[in-house]
Amino acid sequence: MSLVKQVSKISISIPCRNIHTSCHSLAPVPLTYTSYSAPEHDRNSPLIIVHGLFGQKQNWNSVGKALHKKLEAPVYAVDVRNHGASPHTETMTYTEMAEDLVEFIDKVKEETKKKRVNLLGHSMGGKIVMRMAIDSKWSDRIEKLIVEDVSPKGYSRRHVEFRELIKTMRKVNLQRTRKEILTDLESAIPDLSMRQFILTNLQPSSKNKDEMEWKVNMNTIDSHVEELLGYTLPVGSYRGPTLFLHGAKSGYVPDSHKPDIKFLFPQVQFDAIPDAGHWVHADKPQLFIESVYKFLKV
């Protein structure tokens, strides 16, 4: 039986702890997380999962539980800054988010008495774990690296559609029920699964009981969207075992990017999951879990 805990990591010298008040981040922020653990069961290195843009730790509940059981290892799913229940800040560069993750990993290492952890990042989270891995001052914390459906190169035109998405989210009437908001978004976001994913970011308003509010820090994401989507990894390399696990129908990891990936990650393996799009873990959860397990168990 896995023990699922939802707790918030404590840190020092944090300039802002209020998730509804943005602040400039001068130090790593404490990431909230869910852990799936059972001390009598957990023999192997921890796995830390980092979600993508507009994602959050709760999206990983079923996959996190399954991986914990299969890997016989503690699994941690975090909320990155400006997402979920983690603090809101005025900035969110990839270097800052990597520093947040490093601090979290150091606490996990201390808690589990393990020297290194396995890292899995999806989309934006994939770029966060890559940014950490290629930096020599951080990479020795990593045993194996898994990048889900994202390239180390930037996506120059994606920010336009995400700006439209943010504009749509800002416009929606939040004085309606979750079901009504789902319907209201239909014309702007025709894909039902995408609308449902976006609505996982809704919560009852902390100020008005008759309203909903967005958990994500819309202002900071809006001001950083070009960097978040257009970011290309700086020079560096990670020479540990690496898996690029991507959807065969996605297009986020094209063959043209593979030479750059191999240069940055010399020990890379690729696994394209059939009939999966960008959210591989949601589209084909069993194939995703098997791929992760096969890579980590070797």
pLDDT score for 8: 42
pLDDT at 2: 45
pLDDT of res. 292: 98
Of 180, 222, 219, 216, which Cα lies nearest the Cα of 198? 216
Closest CA to 65 of 42, 92, 36, 27: 36
- Is the per-residue pLDDT at 47 higher than 60? yes
Rg (CA), the chain: 18
Report which of 68, 111, 91 is spatially closest to residue 227, judged by C-alpha positions: 91
| Percent of the chain with pLDDT strictly greater than 90 | 83
- Is 296 in contact with 47 (CB distance < 8 Å)? yes
Active site residues: 123, 278
Model pTM above 0.85: yes
Report the mean per-residue pLDDT for the chain: 91
- The residue type found at 231 is Y
Residue 139 has pLDDT above 60, yes or no: yes
pLDDT of residue 187: 87
Per-residue buried b or exposed e for 163-191, using 16+ beta carbons within 10 Å of the residue's own CB: eebbeebeebebeeeeeebbebbeeebee
pLDDT of residue 17: 39
Rounded Cα distance, 54 and 58, in Å: 12
Q: How far apart are CA 277 and CA 269, in angstroms?
A: 19
Residue 17 near residue 88, CB atoms below 8 Å: no
For residue range 92-112, what is the model confidence (pLDDT) as tens digits? 999 999 999 999 999 999 999
Residue 73 has pLDDT above 90, yes or no: yes
Lowest mean pLDDT: which of 59-68, 156-165, 226-235?
Answer: 156-165
Task: Indicate if the pLDDT at residue 4 is higher than 80.
Answer: no
Dig out the tokens for 261 from the structure: 């990936």
A 10 A CB-CB count for 22 gives 17
pLDDT at 155: 85
Query: What burial letters (b/e) apply to 212-228, b meaning 16+ CB within 10 Å?
Result: bbbbbbbebbeebbeeb
Q: Please, are residues 268 and 246 in contact by the beta-carbon 8 Å criterion?
A: no
Contact between residue 292 and residue 146 where contact means Cβ atoms under 8 Å apart: yes
Q: For the chain, what percent of residues have pLDDT higher than 70?
A: 91
Q: What is the mean pLDDT of residues 248-257?
A: 95
- CA-CA distance, 295 to 215, in Å (whole number)? 34
CB of 250 closer than 8 Å to CB of 277: yes
